[in-house]
Copies of this chain bind each other. A is one copy, B any other.
Amino acid sequence: MDALGFTEHDHQHCISEALRTAEQTCADQGLQLTAQRRRVLEILLGEHRAMGAYEVLDVLRAEGLAAQPPTVYRALDFLVGNGFAHKIERLNAFVACAHPGERHAPAFLICSDCGTVAEMPSREIAQAVRGAAATLEFDVARMVIEAEGCCPECRAARAAG
């Protein structure tokens, strides 16, 4: 389970796979993946970066839909609430989940140069957070773990440039 985003990959496959997983998960859990929700997920899947809600809205409008902010926020709430997307707090923006279906406390790498957002394995990080919290007798319900920096590609580009 590696974190895509920084590596070359068959992105069409990446998208269709994620959609299929979302459909299956919704079917299993009695969730309604309506056309709009699905479309918003597709838009997020289109890029391995975080998109603002209004950016998604612009895409919908460019497709001829007369959408309003609540439309997008409702779709995003559904997607985030059911683990098909995540909110990147640092950017006030949203990204498709790289591991839908699996229960996970996500952790993200955000490249300041190219904007790519990768979801990385977080078990040890989550463990460290829970450990530190436990010494203060604090019960952790939810975590925000986001690291900003420079991705390998951009670092190489810098070195070359």
Check if B129 sits within 8 Å of A139, measured CB to CB: no
Q: Which residues of B contact A92 (CB under 8 A)?
A: 92
- What class of interface size applies to chain A in its complex with B? 35 or more
A144/B89 contact (C-beta < 8 A), A120-B133, A132-B125, A149-B138 known: yes
Q: Which residues of B contact A155 (CB under 8 A)?
A: 137, 139
Pick from B120, B143, B147, B151: contact of A146, CB under 8 Å: B143
The chain B residue with its CB closest to the CB of A112 is B141
A11 within 8 Å of B (CB atoms): no
Pick from B122, B138, B146: contact of A132, CB under 8 Å: B122
A69 within 8 Å of B (CB atoms): no
Check if A107 sits within 8 Å of B129, measured CB to CB: yes
A6 within 8 Å of B (CB atoms): yes
Task: Give me 5 other A-B pairs in contact (C-beta within 8 A), A3-B136, A138-B151, A145-B145 excluded.
Answer: A109-B133, A112-B141, A125-B132, A138-B149, A140-B149
